[in-house]
């Protein structure tokens, strides 16, 4: 494997509760995906207080995850995920102009009685955080004239979205409606990913939401990337049979207007953020609480100590 980088990611989440939590059940998507281009060297999940029950498995989309719970009263919860991955280039041989015509691809995915089923169809449908919006169909249309290769169109759409929308930290919350993010022409990486996925889906094209991590400065010494040193999000566009696109899914990062090469660590894929939330759960008790999250990503050979400082966030 042609190695680009070996990266270490530390992702800490801490809840502090005003009253004791009597019972808690949580689901964590904190273990990076693994394939021939992203090798998992090490993964450790530290939970304090220690969970009484735990189960490792995979969700419906094939993402590794852990369920854990506790019936011991506690007033804070710390979850620290430490991962090391080795990355190799995935799209060096990309030939976007050799991808299928977008309209033929979309037509082939429409329901036909007794027709062959393509699992990618589920990613062409609306989802809780990515509803159908006619405004997104109109926005996507100029990038997809009849017969254009789907990846040529997707790259053009990404360039336009990056140019037309402003990355503005804290300008939205996860429950901000997608229509509002579109109208205000600003958001964070989740909004960029949801907007691009929604625009593609309005044309009948499958698009997956990707959660992961990003180096502040990618290999090659280029400018700092937006959304780094935090959980990041981007999309994958379906283009089966395209040279240079392993598995038929091309990653696109509209927040930074690029095809990921090195420095993007894939954590999980789904229809939208709700499918791949890093940590979620249900609790009994607790009252009001505060949430603090910190993510730090570094190259393993850079010699720096890695000690994330938790930042308080109002719940």
CB 98 within 8 A of CB 145: no
pLDDT band at 218 (very low <50, low <70, confident <90, very high): low
- Which one, of 3, 256, 277, 260, lies nearest residue 128 by Cα? 277
pLDDT digits over 262-315, tens only?
Answer: 889 999 999 999 999 999 999 999 999 999 999 999 898 755 544 444 443 333
CA distance 102 to 205: 8
CA distance 182 to 184: 6
User: Residue 309 has what pLDDT?
Assistant: 43
Run of H or E residues at 41: strand 38-48
DSSP letter (8 states) at residue 145: -
**Rg of the Cα atoms in the chain:** 20
- Which one, of 5, 1, 41, lies nearest residue 216 by Cα? 5
CB 195 within 8 A of CB 187: yes
CA distance 308 to 239: 38
CA distance 42 to 83: 5
- Domains assigned to the chain: 5-88+276-314 (2.60.40.2250), 96-261 (3.10.620.30)
pLDDT band at 136 (very low <50, low <70, confident <90, very high): very high
């Amino acid at each position: 494997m042609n190695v680009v980088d070996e990266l270490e990611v530390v992702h800490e989440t801490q809840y502090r509760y005003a009253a004791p939590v009597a019972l808690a059940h949580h689901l964590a998507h904190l273990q990076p995906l693994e394939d021939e281009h992203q090798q998992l060297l090490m993964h450790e999940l530290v939970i304090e207080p220690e969970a009484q029950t735990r189960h490792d498995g995979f969700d419906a989309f094939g993402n590794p995850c852990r369920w854990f719970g506790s019936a011991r009263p506690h007033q804070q919860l710390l979850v620290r995920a430490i991962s090391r991955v080795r990355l190799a280039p995935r799209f060096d041989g990309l030939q976007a102009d050799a991808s299928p015509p977008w309209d033929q691809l979309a037509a082939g995915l429409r329901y036909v009685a007794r027709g062959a089923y393509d699992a990618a169809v589920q990613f062409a449908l609306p989802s809780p955080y990515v509803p159908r919006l006619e405004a997104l169909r109109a926005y996507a249309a100029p990038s997809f004239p009849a017969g254009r290769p789907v990846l040529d169109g997707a790259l053009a759409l990404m360039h336009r979205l990056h140019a037309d929308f402003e990355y503005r930290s804290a300008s939205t919350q996860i429950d901000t409606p997608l229509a509002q993010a579109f109208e205000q022409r600003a958001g964070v990486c989740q909004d960029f990913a949801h907007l691009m996925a929604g625009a593609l889906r309005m044309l009948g094209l499958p698009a997956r939401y990707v959660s992961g991590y990003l180096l502040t400065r990618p290999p090659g010494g280029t400018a700092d990337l937006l959304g780094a040193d935090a959980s990041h999000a981007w999309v994958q566009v379906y283009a089966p049979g395209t040279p240079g696109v392993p598995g038929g899914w091309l990653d696109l990062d509209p927040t930074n207007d690029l095809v990921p090469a090195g420095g993007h660590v894939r954590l999980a894929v789904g229809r939208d953020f709700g499918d791949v939330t890093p940590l979620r759960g249900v609790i009994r008790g607790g009252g009001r609480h505060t949430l603090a999250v910190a993510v730090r990503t570094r190259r393993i050979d850079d010699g720096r100590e890695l000690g994330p400082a938790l930042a308080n966030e109002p719940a």
